[in-house]
Structure 1
Amino acid sequence: MIIALTGQKGGIGKSTTAVSLAVAALARGKRVLLVDADPQGTVRTWGEVASEAGQATPTIVAMGAQMHRPGQLDSVSPAYDLTIIDCPPRHGEISRAALMVADIAVFPCGPTAADAWALASAIEVFREASALRDKLAGCVLITRKQGRTALAKSARAVLETSGLPVLGAELGFRVAYQEAIAVGKGVTTYAPRDASAREIHQLLDELTRFHHGQEASRGFAPQAAVA
């Protein structure tokens, strides 16, 4: 399974989510490849911090707008159970490359109507890619949610009109996510009893089911689950 965390807006938790998912899958005994496609290099910096702290890490590689070319990601990812691509904001060529190799495009989106409106351009890029690739599926992930607020409910209602499924799993606005990254951990290892850890496990499980459902709809036999 290849997941691309993408979107045109920054500050919505793409890198944090990518790292947290990778660490959770690694702890389940999966072979995980984490692709840092963001020139900011947040994932690579996290990997350096994790290594210095003696933490187990997924394999981390840097790739960009050429990752969809023969001999690039396709020569590496088959050795892994799960590949996660952390895409940058506002770098359309990199996002397009990721969408040409991913199984699932995940669009993290903040919990406001303004965040939902900003998602429109990213979804348009997705539609262009999916017209070329029947295999590509997409979904929206609500991030930085602040409790059961009317604001969050209205954002979900707006997002559900985007044409892409909105995942049931939601990531709250929790300090544990930032604290975990700072010490080279994922939130599931940093605070395993925290609500943030439960959110990441739920997200990983839901993405796995979503992937298997897409394969089944295309007539493919499901592979071994990441869960």
Structure 2
Amino acid sequence: MCTVISISNQKGGVGKTTTAVNLGIGFVKEGKKVLLIDADPQGSLTASLGYGQPDEIGVTLATILRKIISEQEPDPDEGILQHHEGVDLLPGNIELSVMELTMANAMSRELILKEYIETQRLRYDYIIIDCMPSLGTMTINALVASDVVLIPVQAAYLPVLGLQQLIKTIYMVKKRLNKKLRIGGILLTMVDKRTNYARDIIEMVKETYEGVLPVYDCMIPTSVKAAESSAEGISIYTHANNCKVSDAYKELTREVLKDEN
């Protein structure tokens, strides 16, 4: 049974891509078959897995979506790259910016990505979609195609404040387009528990959302090692396996797996 997870927040720089990489490879370490989909024109997920020039990749998510819009059936293996840590990747690049406009004028535009993902469900245990920092057509497509939304939020006042619009959008998609969609949890990232500010933000999130929305027990600490691993195109487990960040992502992986069982 495949679970499709969108990692989404319209705010940039909150750890979506880092979470997609390390959750995906965390699943692989637990014996799961995983496909990562880069649905961001910046190609950050693609670059974080070692493909440093995403815009030079010939076949990407945009290629696949274009075929679906024109009623062509893509080959199941088309465009999929294999990372040496065991995850598969459907890369994304700047062509997705054009696809946003193309999809906006397509029939059943909210269902285009779902059509592709349904062809991949039997091949994977988990499909993780790294969403762009917006609530546009591509992100709506990701939510419609997903079973679960994971929301990374930086432990800071403004990112937490911006959650309301995202949550409203998720509920709208659930009501109108994807009744099985659920919020897996809010994941606090870039947390420095040494500061009173971070502790105040943690308390604010818990007071505001606990009992209404799930909040993961796991929190991702702030660390330069996460950025270093992305620059090297590897997971935090390979870069620094016993650091606080790798331990946090191991804990997140266990939480998400337990949530699915």
TM-score of the superposed pair, with normalisation by structure 2: 0.73
Does residue 106 of structure 1 match 2:150? yes
Report the equivalent of 1:20. Answer: 22
Q: Residues of 2 paired with 1:91 and 1:117: CA distance?
A: 16
Counterpart selection for 1:197 from 243, 246, 250: 246
User: 2:37 aligns to what?
Assistant: 35
Equivalent position to 1:169, from 218, 237, 241: 218
For the aligned residues, what is the CA RMSD? 2.1
Contact 1:38 1:87 in 2 (8 A): yes
1:198-217 counterparts in 2 under 5 A? 198-212=247-261
Give the C-alpha shift of residue 209 in structure 1: 1.8
Q: In structure 1, what is the equivalent of residue 138 of structure 2? A: 94
Q: How far has the Cα of 1:22 moved from its partner?
A: 1.4
Structure 1: tracts of 5 or more residues without a match = 213-227
Alpha-carbon contact 1:13-1:108 (below 8 Å) kept? yes
Equivalent residues of 2:51, 2:233 under 8 A apart: yes
Residue 110 of structure 2 contacts residue 140 of structure 2 at CA under 8 Å; is this kept in 1? no
Kindly state the Cα deviation for residue 27 of structure 1 after the two structures are TM-superposed.
Answer: 2.6
SS at 1:44 equivalent: helix
| C-alpha displacement of 1:67 | 7.7
Q: Distance in 1 between matches of 2:187 and 2:204?
A: 13
- The 5-angstrom pairing of residues 39-78 of structure 1 reads 39-49=41-51, 55-62=84-91, 68-69=111-112, 71-78=115-122
Structure 2: distance between partners of 1:207 and 1:28 = 12
Alignment-mate amino acid for residue 90 of structure 2: V
d(CA) in 2 for partners of 1:128 and 1:154?
A: 30
**Does the 8 A contact of 2:6 with 2:128 survive in 1?**
yes
Q: Structure 1: how far apart are the matches of 2:123 and 2:16? A: 24
Cα deviation, residue 91, structure 1: 4.1
Which of residues 81, 88, 93 in structure 1 aligns to 2:125?
81
Deviation at 1:5, TM superposition (A): 0.5
Higher mean C-alpha deviation, range 8-17 or range 67-76: 67-76
The count of aligned residue pairs is: 209
Report the counterpart of residue 216 of structure 1 in structure 2: none
Q: Give me the whole-angstrom Cα distance separating, in 2, the residues matched to 1:59 and 1:179.
A: 21
Distance of 1:62 and 1:74 partners within structure 2: 18
Aligned partner of 1:136 among 164, 181, 185? 181
Q: CA deviation at 1:193?
A: 0.9
| Unaligned ranges ≥5, structure 2 | 53-82, 97-102, 104-108
* Whole-angstrom CA distance in 2 between matches of 1:67 and 1:196: 35
Change (3 A) 1:48 1:68: farther
Could you report, residue by residue, the CA deviation over 1:85-119 in whole angstroms, capped at 9, with x for unpaired residues?
10010242222111112121011111122221011
Return the letter of the residue paired with 2:121: S
Query: Once the two structures are aligned, what percentage of the paired residues are identical?
Result: 27
Distance 2:204 2:136 in 1: 24
TM-score normalised per structure 1: 0.84
In structure 1, C-alpha distance between the alignment counterparts of 2:243 and 2:50, rounded to whole Å: 25
